[in-house]
A and B are shown apart, each in its own frame.
Chain A
Amino acid sequence: MSLLSVENVDKYYFRKIALNNISFSVNKGEIFGLLGPNGAGKTTLIRLINKITTPTKGSIKFNNEYLNKEHLNKIGYLPEERGLYPSLKVEEHIIFLAMLKGLTKNEAEKNLDYWLNKFEIVNWKNKKIEQLSKGMAQKVQFICSVIHNPELLILDEPLSGFDPININLIVQILHELKKEGKTIILSTHDMKNVEEICDRILLLNESKKIVEGSVNELREKHNTGLYGIRFKGNMIAFATALWIDFELIEKKEISSDKFEVIVKKRGNQKLDDFIKAMLDKIEIDAVWKILPGMQEVFISLIDENLSTENEK
């Protein structure tokens, strides 16, 4: 069931188009990746969802209702370029933003204690923002976006600036939030995170939608026919036995008679038949499909889009 649906949205800044006929939906309880190169329109789209700006054309629905001001209290937002009031204390800052999201002071204080404990930063409560390190400030900003227990959490590059330990902590929290039924829109350039965290993605380029779909489906779709095989036996025997439809791309010697190879499927020959034929020659330990990473999918989709545009 969709929590957010964007329908035929255009956004113009004076005569410059920032979003061109964008439609997609985000399902409840999923982590949705918003991808695209710089200037693709991601930030504009996020601002529209947060009602910071309004679309020139089209509509946005939240829980099947047209997005309105009341919905903003159910949305949490962590922008890429984050800001804090340096002169305020951590507690004051978070409570101020929580109250703007509709919480009473008591509710905000209660939720604040929960999150400070979760991040193990209770001692910072009365510290001024200007006394915090960059990483500490990042945590405070993250808390500001989740303090009001939003249904939809929009995170723009949430992991930038964190060390690996804290990245792990945030990823873990995102999975917990997902388990609680929260929906998360994640805008990032880090494709490794997309593979690890996101269920589905939307790819934008030059203000247009390029693709929307699940991460696995997209990777499958862009599968280049690579397989990994680990076997015991003679490498020469394996190489000579390769069919014309399979090409040896890479080989790695694990021990004197153990190898790991990557082969690429070219023709219509089935992998099963290839393996069956090989069983006489070598002892196969494992066979696996090598799917392209999101990085490759991303570049491939952008390149495809560019060539289509050029052809036009």
Chain B
Amino acid sequence: MRNSLIITKQELLNRIRSRFFWIMLIIGPFLVLSSIYTLFKLGDEGKKKINVLVSDEGVIFNQFLLSKDSANIHYDCINKYVSLKDFKTKSEFQKYDALIDINHKVLENKDVLVLHREKPSSQNKIYIRYDIEKRLEEVIAESKNFSINDYNSIKQPIGIKFRDIHHPEGKPDLLPSWAGFGFSAIIFLFVLLYGMSVLRSITKDKSTRIVEVILSSTRPSELLYGKIFGVGLAAIIQFFCWFGIISIGLYALKENWINSFYDPSNVLAGKSHLNELVELIYHRINYQVMVPYFLCFFILGYVFYSSFFSIIGASIGSESDGQQFIFPILSILSLSLFIGYFSIYNPNHILSKFCFYFPFTSPFVALIKISNGISVTNILVSLLVLICSTIFMVKISSRIYKNSILHYGHRLKIWQIIKWIRKA
């Protein structure tokens, strides 16, 4: 145990002193923040100037809906019902980009549907929402003989839903799944980078023959655990640094660009009015739940996969041999991430359910499931399976490591490895 700690400390110091650690520390968060900002800007892409048809069957708006602040929106009101089919197909409506359906019970249900051909920009969405709300407030206040100020003091939120005319039923809410997938992608990145670090560290020890000196002082398993935990600790430190830098960066982005982009009155109107990405990052991720589970799956996933990387590192004759052996493990990792992506759209598919418990894939699928809400019992079962598999794999890898680390200059044969596994 003492020796494992000494080796852990040494490995940690080696990683922290390496140029790679500091490059990743700076480049990683920079790339993440740049991507978020780019996606945020892309999320705002949409038609800038739009014509909107207001179908006011109940003559509630009384032909009166003006774009008060934006010159990009032009409204035309008609006092008759326009069906979705007519709006889609009839030539007279083709000049309109969106249809606002003011149902005749809008004063009671306070629901308004906006059907659009091409997704409007976030800014136009906000202005449309703002214009409808203002007009509805006026109509409601007028019908109840309230002043606008009195009405504002008792008003309830108005539900304005934007729908694509080709999917008027609306799309399932995938934002939480994407949040989970984001966490899975971070695990993938760290498992890959730091798993490779474990492999490189082992092959370096082997090629410089220092391993023989170390093994004369410590057990092979202690050396292996020290390496895995030392490198893992560096990964966790890097993750927390990333987390800190990205949090500060996101706060700065929100304060300096994102909020100022929107009309302040609308931003105050509610969180659901924001860009999807902004909404996802700032409002939809339950960090108190996600971060602890992320750390559990991150640590276990890293240790689980590192045991495979260590087997490869100890078994290969030279570092160049490693490339072909890494391929299967990279394939498994990539496939696991793909299954995570698959789970976003098929959460109830048998493959998604199986992969939630399967140790090779659970670190990449579990967080998607958790972000959508799943019982704690299921999560604990998945974690338990992963813990047991990790312990088993670490034991197996330390056995193979012990037997193969002193085989210099030649590649081990599969039957030799199988024999050691059977011995273990």
Give A residues with C-beta under 8 Å from B. 14, 47, 50-53, 69, 72-73, 75, 77, 79, 81-88, 96-97, 99-101, 144-145
Cβ-closest 10 pairs across A and B: A83-B210, A83-B209, A83-B208, A100-B217, A50-B216, A77-B216, A81-B209, A79-B212, A52-B215, A99-B6
Contacts of B218 in A (CB 8 A): 72, 100
Contacts of B10 in A (CB 8 A): 96
CB-based contact A50/B17 at 8 Å: no
How many chain-B residues does the 8 Å CB contact rule pick out? 23
* Bound CA–CA A165/B130 (angstroms): 91
How many Å from the CB of B143 to the closest CB on chain A?
A: 79
Q: Are B216 and A52 in contact (CB under 8 A)?
A: yes
The digit string for B201-220, where 1 denotes a CB below 8 A from any CB of A, is 00001001111111111110
CB distance from A73 to the nearest CB of B (A): 8
How far apart are the CA atoms of A84 and B209 in the complex, in Å? 8
A53 to B7, CA, bound (A): 20
Asked if B216 and A72 make an inter-chain contact with CB atoms under 8 angstroms apart, the answer reads: yes
Separation of A96 and B3 alpha carbons in the complex (Å): 10
In the assembled complex, B406 has its CB within 8 A of some CB on chain A: yes
Contact of B406 among A53, A72, A77, A88 (CB under 8 A): A53
Given A52-B406, A87-B14, A87-B17, A79 contacting B209 (CB threshold 8 A): yes
Q: Does B51 contact A (CB under 8 A)?
A: no
Residue contact A77 to B17, C-beta cutoff 8 Å: no
When distances are taken between beta carbons in the complex, the residues of chain B under 8 Å from A82 are 209, 213
Q: A52-B406, A87-B17 are in contact. Are A97 and B214 (CB under 8 A)?
A: yes
Contact B219 A84 (CB under 8 A): no
Which residues of chain B are near A14, meaning CB under 8 Å?
A: 416, 419
A79 contact set on B, CB distance < 8 A: 209, 212-213, 216
CA distance A83 to B215 in the complex (A): 12
Interface centre among B7, B212, B217, B408 (most CB of A within 10 A): B217
CB pair B213–A77 under 8 Å, yes or no, is yes
Contact A83 B17 (CB under 8 A): no
What is the chain A residue whose CB lies nearest that of B206? Answer: A83
Q: Which of A81, A84, A101 contacts B217 (CB 8 A)?
A: A101
Q: Are B6 and A84 in contact (CB under 8 A)?
A: no
Contacts of B211 in A (CB 8 A): 83
**Minimum distance in angstroms from B358 CB to a CB of chain A:** 34
* A51 contacts across to B, CB distance below 8 A: 216
- How many angstroms from the CA of A53 to the CA of B215 in the assembled complex? 9
Query: Are A97 and B14 neighbours in the complex by a CB distance under 8 Å?
Result: no
Return the chain A residue nearest B419 by Cβ.
Answer: A14
Binding site secondary structure of chain A: loop
Could you list 9 further interchain pairs (A-B, Cβ under 8 angstroms) beyond the known A53-B406, A72-B216, A100-B217? A14-B419, A50-B216, A51-B216, A79-B212, A79-B213, A79-B216, A83-B208, A86-B208, A87-B17
Taking the nearest CB of chain A, how far is it from the CB of B382, in angstroms? 37
B205: chain A residues within 8 A (beta carbon): 83
B212 touches which of A72, A73, A83 (Cβ 8 Å): A83
Q: Would you list 12 pairs from A and B whose C-beta atoms are within 8 A, ordered by A residue?
A: A51-B216, A52-B215, A52-B216, A53-B406, A69-B219, A81-B209, A83-B209, A83-B210, A85-B14, A85-B210, A97-B217, A144-B213
Give bound CA distance, A69 to B4, whole Å: 14
Chain B residue numbers with a CB within 8 Å of A84 are 208, 210
Mask for B342-377, Cβ within 8 A of A = 1, else 0? 000000000000000000000000000000000000
Q: Residues of B contacting A47 with CB < 8 Å?
A: 212, 406
Among A75, A87, A96, the residue within 8 A (CB) of B6 is: A96
Chain A residues lying within 8 Å of B208, measured Cβ to Cβ, are 83-86
Chain A minimum-CB-distance residue to B218: A100
Query: Which residue of the partner chain B has the closest CB to A81?
Result: B209
A254–B10 alpha-carbon span in the complex (Å):
65
| Contacting pair A83 B6 (CB below 8 A) | no
Closest-by-CB residue of B relative to A85 is B210
Contact A100 B6 (CB under 8 A): yes
Given B3, B212, B216, B219, which contacts A75 in the complex, CB threshold below 8 Å?
B216
Query: Nearest chain-A residue to B403 (Cβ)?
Result: A53
Chain A: CB-nearest residue to B3 = A100
Q: Please, how many angstroms separate the alpha-carbon atoms of A50 and B217 in the complex?
A: 8
Per the bound structure, the CA–CA distance linking A83 and B206 in Å amounts to: 9
On chain A, the residues within 8 Å of B416 by CB distance are: 14
A83 to B10 CA separation, bound complex (whole angstroms): 16
CB distance from B297 to the nearest CB of A (A): 32
Residues of A within 8 A of B7 (CB): 100
Q: Are A50 and B209 in contact (CB under 8 A)?
A: no
Q: Which of A53, A69, A73, A83 contacts B213 (CB 8 A)?
A: A83
Neighbouring B residues of A88 by C-beta, 8 Å: 14
| A85 vs B210: C-alpha distance when bound (angstroms) | 7
A61 to chain B, nearest CB (A): 18
B418 CB to closest chain A CB (Å) equals 12
Tell me the bound Cα distance from A96 to B218 in angstroms: 12
CB–CB B214/A100 < 8 A:
yes
- Bound CA–CA A58/B65 (angstroms): 97
B295 to chain A, nearest CB (A): 29
A62 smallest CB distance to B (angstroms): 13
Q: In the assembled complex, how far is the CB of residue A1 from the closest CB belonging to chain B, in whole angstroms?
A: 24
Instruction: Report A-chain residues with C-beta under 8 Å of the C-beta of B212.
Output: 47, 52, 77, 79, 81, 83
**A75 CA / B218 CA spacing, docked (Å):** 12
Known: A47-B406, A83-B205. A97 touches B213 (CB 8 A): yes
Cα A26 to Cα B324 in complex, Å, equals: 47
User: In the docked arrangement, what's the CA distance between A77 and B215, Å?
Assistant: 10
CA separation between A52 and B219, bound complex, in Å? 8
CB neighbours (8 Å) of B217 from chain A are: 72-73, 97, 100-101
